[in-house]
Amino acid sequence: MEVRVQNVRKEFDRFPALHDVSLDIRSGELIALLGPSGSGKTTLLRLIAGLETPTAGKVFFGDTDASEKTVQERNIGFVFQHYALFRHMTILENISFGLKVRPRSSRPPAGEIRRRAMELLDLVQLSGLEKRYPNQLSGGQRQRVALARALAIEPAVLLLDEPFGALDAQVRRELRKWLREIHDRTGHTTVFVTHDQEEALELSDRLCVMSQGKIEQVGTPDSVYDHPTSPFVFGFIGESSELPVTVENNELWVGGRAIGVPAGDAQPGEARLFFRPHDVELVEHDASLAGVVSTNRRVGGTRRVELEIGGAGHLVEVDLPFDHPAGEKTRLAFRPRRWKLFPAV
């Protein structure tokens, strides 16, 4: 089901958690809400679920205004960060709950409910554990039960709030792949909150980056990574280095030296240059960024050095091949291969 969030605003005791947010979620896609802590991701998710009511604005499910529907009527699958399983019910009872509480007219017969629950248990790879209680499972298993429970009601939309937030890195990676597989198999429209950018980039069809109650950018992981539209997104997604520069004569200048980077259509004056540390080339000639290595450490297959540029002591990070002989105080000259210019604040 298609979900449209239209000019939604949410205040908690006059504190605005969301400012005028609009988002179109396409039917069948897996979209990630990504942003720092307190940026309003959970609030947006809960508004879609109907667990909060917007101060202003509307949420549409398809063509119907969801504000006329209660939480129960929205047919939402919601997965909480801390599982929120019913601890006094077995795994099987947890998964069947949504079907068992339906009114008699739409409730499947008991045998059918059981069959579907067992099928879901199989889908989340927990067959054989149906008689256990939640406290007899590991965190990763609990979260899979929570997902099966949400899927049991054939939800119109599946909402996940940092579903893997409480799990260790390895389990997270496994569950991530597995969630993608389940999504591809079941095709539910899925919105999922995370503050782990790696998770968002790897898992989602589209990415919605949020900051301070606003949506900064929406797009495919590639487009958001390659073409960030704001300094915030550039800094938040992926590694980045930032340097204050001056635009003059269609060129960029640092400390009175041209650095060999064309300014494009930027207005003359102060500006902020952003580039990725791995997207640079070392050069010999004059028109380049030159600096002195201040720190130097090995990160996996590359060497990350911090350079002090010009007299003002601005620090930028640059990646070198791991066998590069650069030591402390070595002088290096480089030029970003790709970069982005934003107006100075």
Partner 1 sequence: MSTVASTAPRRAWSFRQPSVIPGFGLTLGFTLTYFSLIILIPLIALAVRSAGLGPEGFWKAATDARVLGSLRVSFVTALIAAGVNVVFGTLIAWVLVRYRFPGRRIFDAIIDLPFALPTAVAGIALTAIYAPNGTVGSLFAPLGWRIAYTPAGIVIAMIFIGLPFVVRTIQPILEEVSHEVEEASATLGANRFQTIIHVIFPSLMPAILTGFALAFARAVGEYGSIIFIAGNIPFVSEIAPLLIYIRLQEFNYVGATVIATVMLLISFALLLAINLIQAWSRRRYGYGN
Ligand X SMILES: Nc1ncnc2c1ncn2[C@@H]1O[C@H](COP(=O)(O)OP(=O)(O)OP(=O)(O)O)[C@@H](O)[C@H]1O
Q: Considering the rule CB under 8 A, would residue 175 count as an interface residue with partner 1?
A: no
Q: What does the alpha-carbon distance between residue 276 and residue 322 come to, in Å, rounded to a whole number?
A: 17
318 Cβ contact list (under 8 Å, min separation 6): 241, 277, 280, 304, 305, 307, 332, 334
Task: Tell me which stretch binds Mg ion (CB under 5 A): 1-9, 37-45, 201-209, 306-314.
Answer: 37-45
Task: Tell me which stretch binds partner 1 (CB under 8 A): 95-103, 117-125, 309-317, 334-342.
Answer: 95-103
Tell the smallest beta-carbon distance from residue 343 to ligand X (Å). Answer: 27
Q: Return left, alpha or beta for 14; rule: phi > 0 is left, psi -120 to 50 is alpha, else beta.
A: left
**Choice from 39, 42, 211, 288 touching Mg ion (CB under 5 A):** 42
- Count of C-beta atoms within a 10 Å radius of residue 234: 24
Task: Give me 166's structure tokens.
Answer: 């409480």
Q: Site mask, ligand X, residues 2-31, x = CB under 6 A?
A: ----------x--x-x--------------
Task: Tell me which stretch binds ligand X (CB under 6 A): 40-48, 150-158, 261-269, 276-284.
Answer: 40-48
Considering CB distances under 5 to 8 angstroms, the limit depending on partner class, which of ligand X, partner 1, Mg ion, none binds residue 150?
A: partner 1
Name residues contacting partner 1, limited to 37-76 (CB under 8 A).
49, 51, 71-72, 74-76
Considering CB distances under 5 to 8 angstroms, the limit depending on partner class, which of Mg ion, partner 1, ligand X, none binds residue 43?
A: ligand X
From residue 341, give the alpha-carbon distance in Å to each of 203, 244, 309, 319.
Answer: 29, 10, 18, 20
Q: Site mask, ligand X, residues 174-203, x = CB under 6 A?
A: ---------------------x--------
Nearest C-alpha neighbor of 78 from the set 191, 204, 210, 207:
191
Element (H, E) at 309: strand 302-309
DSSP strand E in 212-268: where? 214-219, 241-248, 251-254, 257-262
- Residues forming contacts to partner 1 in the complex (CB under 8 A) are 49, 51, 71-72, 74-78, 80, 82, 84-88, 97-98, 101-102, 133-136, 146, 149-150, 152-153
